[in-house]
């Protein structure tokens, strides 16, 4: 018998983790259906539904026309009437078309009907830049964080892609599940045993003492790379993977910042009214003022031109520089924003 007490794992790609969670759930729950563009024979635009069409057939894994507004509406309505749909929106940019049924109907349904109806729908959508330009690259998850009745998750690892999707299928209301184009081909360990990652719990990915970096989705990887480089500068960064954006795990975040005394938020979306803005505000409401810095995409559209795309997105170097500036402010006891400049 091995002395290693950690549970046995398999190493699979992020996209495979999604398919595995969906497959396990669909085997148990006949009410689960998948609606989306190219989810059937094609296996999903990112192959994240590989094998499901073959196993469950065209009735449960349904290709739809290119009609995001009604795809979400059908999903929400079917959920309210007894199914457990997962609606796949290939690009998060196009979820804007589905905001009306999602936000005006799905998120309000339980409240407005006095508890008669709920809409347990999962809207799975893909954020992030990968050379596809201004209308296929956006990360707009922050727009959804303030919608009462919605939960929003954004996994960064295959294990969480699996465990959070499993959790989403157990919710009684709508969940927006945000994955990321650059995460699909990344592999990582996923427990062989059925595992559920609870919504609303952040994960400390790297323990540290000097500052807290919060992030989610692909940018967690950037945060971890930056933390490693900061070691060389004598800075010990703690990295928190938010995993759940609504609700936020303020207990874990606040505890970390109380320990480190500074917070840097990192996201691929816009800084203005972004995830980091909310995290920093809530940290300060909880523990008082601390030095902070927010990093995100530049306030510009994300071009498909690789030079301009790379310039727009947060990089490890920018995070390292901002973290070092933040440390200097912290050492001087200055509690205000560290202005970030692009070099």
Partner 1 sequence: MVHAVQIEMLRQMLLIREFERALGARKDHGFQLLSAGEEAVAVGLCSALRQGDQLLTGGRSIGPALARGADPNRVMAELLGRATGTNRGKGGRGHLADQGSGFFGAHAVVGGNISIAGGVALATQMLNRDNIVVIMFGDGAFGAGALHETLNMSASMRLPLLFVCNNNQLSVSTPRTAALAPKLLSDIGRPFGMPSRTVDGMDLDTVVMAAHEAADYVRSKQGPAFLECISYRFSSHSTTARETRSAEELCSIRALCPIDKKMGEMMAAGLIDADTKIAIVESAKAVVRGALEFADASPFPDVREALTDVI
Asked if 74 interacts with partner 1 (CB under 8 A), we say yes
| Catalytic residue chosen out of the listed positions 16, 25, 48, 68 | 68
First-to-last alpha carbon distance for the chain, in angstroms, is 55
| Catalytic residue chosen out of the listed positions 16, 48, 136, 267 | 136
Nearer to partner 1, 200 or 261 (CB): 200
| CA–CA dist 37, 100 (Å, integer) | 19
| CA–CA dist 245, 201 (Å, integer) | 9
Nearer to partner 1, 32 or 263 (CB): 32
Asked if 67 interacts with partner 1 (CB under 8 A), we say yes
| CA–CA dist 138, 254 (Å, integer) | 28
Q: Rounded to 5, what percent of the chain is helix, strand, coil?
A: 40, 20, 40
Nearer to partner 1, 79 or 263 (CB): 79
| CA–CA dist 264, 147 (Å, integer) | 25
Asked if 33 interacts with partner 1 (CB under 8 A), we say yes
Nearer to partner 1, 65 or 232 (CB): 65
Instruction: Report, in Å, the least distance between residue 321 CB and partner 1.
Output: 39
**Sign of the dihedral defined by the CA atoms of residues 322, 293, 220, 34, in that order:** negative
Known catalytic residue at 136:
yes
Closest CA to 241 of 159, 178, 157: 157
The residues, any chain, with a CB within 8 Å of residue 21's CB and separated by 6 or more, are: 161, 162, 163, 165, 166, 169
Nearer to partner 1, 62 or 259 (CB): 62
Asked if 78 interacts with partner 1 (CB under 8 A), we say yes
Instruction: Report, in Å, the least distance between residue 148 CB and partner 1.
Output: 5
Asked if 100 interacts with partner 1 (CB under 8 A), we say yes
Asked if 248 interacts with partner 1 (CB under 8 A), we say no
The structure tokens listed for 177 are 């599940």
| CA–CA dist 227, 241 (Å, integer) | 13
Closest CA to 292 of 316, 270, 268, 323: 323
| CA–CA dist 332, 195 (Å, integer) | 45
Asked if 250 interacts with partner 1 (CB under 8 A), we say no
Q: Which stretch binds partner 1 (CB under 8 A): 76-84, 228-236, 262-270, 305-313?
A: 76-84
Q: Which stretch binds partner 1 (CB under 8 A): 73-81, 207-215, 231-239, 319-327?
A: 73-81
Q: What angle do CA 262, 237, 327 make, to 5 degrees?
A: 45
- Subset of 188-227 contacting partner 1 (CB under 8 A): none
The site for partner 1, by CB under 8 A, has a size of 38
- Subset of 112-171 contacting partner 1 (CB under 8 A): 112-117, 148-151
The structure tokens listed for 108 are 């309000």
Q: Which of 43, 75, 120, 163 binds partner 1 (CB under 8 A)?
A: 75
Asked if 105 interacts with partner 1 (CB under 8 A), we say yes
| Residue position matching structure tokens 């945000």 | 178
Assess contact for 278 and 248: CB atoms under 8 A: yes
Where along the sequence are the contacts to partner 1 (CB under 8 A)?
Answer: 31, 33, 59, 64-65, 67, 69-70, 72-83, 85, 100-101, 104-105, 110-117, 148-151, 173
Residues annotated as part of the active site: 68, 136
């Amino acid at each position: 018998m091995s002395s290693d007490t950690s549970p046995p794992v398999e190493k699979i790609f992020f996209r495979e983790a999604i398919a595995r969670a969906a497959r396990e759930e669909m085997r148990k729950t006949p009410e689960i259906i998948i609606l989306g563009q190219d989810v059937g024979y094609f296996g999903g635009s990112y192959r994240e539904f590989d094998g499901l069409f073959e196993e469950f057939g065209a009735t449960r894994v349904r290709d739809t026309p290119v009609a995001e507004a009604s795809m979400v509406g059908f999903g929400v309505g079917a959920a309210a009437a007894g199914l457990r749909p997962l609606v796949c929106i290939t690009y998060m940019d196009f979820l804007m078309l589905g905001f009306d049924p999602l936000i005006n109907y799905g998120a309000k349904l339980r409240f407005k009907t006095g508890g008669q109806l709920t809409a347990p729908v999962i809207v799975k959508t893909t954020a992030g830049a990968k050379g596809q330009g201004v209308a296929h690259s956006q990360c707009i998850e922050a727009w959804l964080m303030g919608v009462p009745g919605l939960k929003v998750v954004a996994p960064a690892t295959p294990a969480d892609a699996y465990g959070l999707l499993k959790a989403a299928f157990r919710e009684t209301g709508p969940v927006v599940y945000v994955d990321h184009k650059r995460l699909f081909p990344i592999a990582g360990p996923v427990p062989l045993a059925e595992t559920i990652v609870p919504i609303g719990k952040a994960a400390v990915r790297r323990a540290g003492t000097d500052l807290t970096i919060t992030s989610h989705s692909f940018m967690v990887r950037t945060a971890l790379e930056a933390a490693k480089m900061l070691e060389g500068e004598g800075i010990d960064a703690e990295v928190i993977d938010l995993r759940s954006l609504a609700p936020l795990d303020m207990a874990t975040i606040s505890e970390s910042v109380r320990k480190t005394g500074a917070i840097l938020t990192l996201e691929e979306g816009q800084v203005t009214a972004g995830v980091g803005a909310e995290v920093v505000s809530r940290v300060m409401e909880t523990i008082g003022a601390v030095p902070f810095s927010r990093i995100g995409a530049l306030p510009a559209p994300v071009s498909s031109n690789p030079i301009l795309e790379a310039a727009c997105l947060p990089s490890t170097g920018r995070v390292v520089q901002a973290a070092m500036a933040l440390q200097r402010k912290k050492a001087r006891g200055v509690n205000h924003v560290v202005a970030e400049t692009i070099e």
